[in-house]
Amino acid sequence: MRGYVPPDPETKVSQECIAVVQTGRQTRKRFPAGCVEIVDSVDTAIEKARASNNLYAARVLGPSKSSEGQYIYYLVEWLE
């Protein structure tokens, strides 16, 4: 995947997670950690997702530290 910092294979710092992401548009590929809620399962993420409240279920990779010093998550895929 282009445009993200690959996870370190020797640590578990960044990893793929299931999450609910709050965003105004689904065209973004990076999200601040404050907009991402990690959940236990795909079913839970889909249950919590509310498009009317800009909440979407997703598979994300992170957290990673951006060049600005913020923790971010990268979008892997949106879940339906």
pLDDT digits 0-9 by tens, 22-69 = 999 999 999 999 999 999 999 999 999 999 999 999 999 998 888 888
- Structural contact between residues 73 and 19, judged by C-beta atoms closer than 8 angstroms: yes
pLDDT of residue 5: 59
Per-residue confidence (pLDDT) for residue 68, from 0 to 100: 87
Q: Where are the alpha helices (DSSP H) in 24-69?
A: 42-48
Token pair for 6: 């690959």
Question: Residue 31 forms beta bridges with which residues?
Answer: 73
Q: What type of residue sits at position 38?
A: I
Nearest one of 2, 18, 4 to 64, comparing CA atoms: 4
Residue 15 has pLDDT above 60, yes or no: yes
Per-residue pLDDT at 12: 64
pLDDT of residue 10 exceeding 90, the answer is no
Backbone angles phi, psi at 2, to 5 degrees: -90, 145
Q: Which band of pLDDT confidence, cut at 50, 70 and 90, is reported for residue 6?
A: low
